[in-house]
């Protein structure tokens, strides 16, 4: 099972490599990892997508918590959550396909951020499965380059009646 962990960690040199080292050293896997600053400059926020059965996930969370630099670990996928990933896709767009690419952008609400005679570069944001769907559809047309951010996620606030 896939799990999305949200990790707050001290913004110190080496903190990130402690975390990645923990995953490689203990044979856990990282499907994606996204790190950035938070409002508090002394902390970094890290979203990590991993997979494993409940025991492995329990171990991963405990092992992360054991690191001196880790402040907080939340398994956001335990409850309701929003996740987003962004990708930049440079896709072949020549005579016959130019219109088709634009149509697809429209359907999936992607943005064209760069145009050349033979390519479009499009920006897409959404949950991972949306990115997957778009990539599947664009593949036959010809993807020349792809850059993805990895997932970021947040728990949903409880809705009050």
The C-alpha angle with vertex 79 and arms to 76 and 80, in degrees rounded to 5, equals 95
| Site residues (CB under 8 A) for other proteins, limited to 76-135 | none
Q: How many residues bind other proteins (CB under 8 A)?
A: 19
140 counts as binding other proteins under rule CB under 8 A: no
Q: Which span (64-72, 79-87, 96-104, 123-131) binds other proteins, by CB under 8 A?
A: 64-72
- Positive or negative: CA dihedral 109, 110, 111, 115: negative
| Calpha distance 88→59 (Å, rounded) | 34
69 counts as binding other proteins under rule CB under 8 A: yes
Nearer to other proteins, 25 or 140 (CB): 25
Q: Which span (9-17, 29-37, 91-99, 115-123) binds other proteins, by CB under 8 A?
A: 9-17
Residues that bind other proteins (CB under 8 A): 9-10, 13-14, 17-18, 21, 25, 55, 58-59, 62-63, 65-66, 68-71
């Amino acid at each position: 099972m896939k799990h999305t962990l949200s990790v707050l960690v001290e913004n110190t040199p080496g903190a990130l490599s402690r975390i990645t080292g923990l995953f490689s050293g203990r044979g856990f896997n990282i499907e994606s990892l996204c790190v950035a600053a938070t409002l508090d400059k002394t902390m970094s926020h890290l979203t990590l997508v991993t997979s494993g059965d409940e025991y492995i996930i329990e171990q991963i969370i405990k092992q992360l918590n054991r690191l001196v630099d880790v402040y907080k670990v939340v398994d956001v996928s335990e409850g309701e959550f929003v996740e987003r990933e962004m990708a930049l896709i440079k896709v072949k767009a020549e005579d016959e396909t130019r219109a088709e690419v634009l149509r697809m952008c429209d359907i999936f609400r992607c943005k064209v951020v760069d145009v050349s005679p033979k390519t479009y570069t499009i920006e897409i944001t959404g949950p991972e499965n949306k990115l997957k769907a778009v990539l599947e559809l664009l593949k036959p047309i010809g993807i020349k380059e792809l850059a993805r951010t990895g997932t970021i996620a947040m728990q949903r606030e409880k809705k009050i009646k």
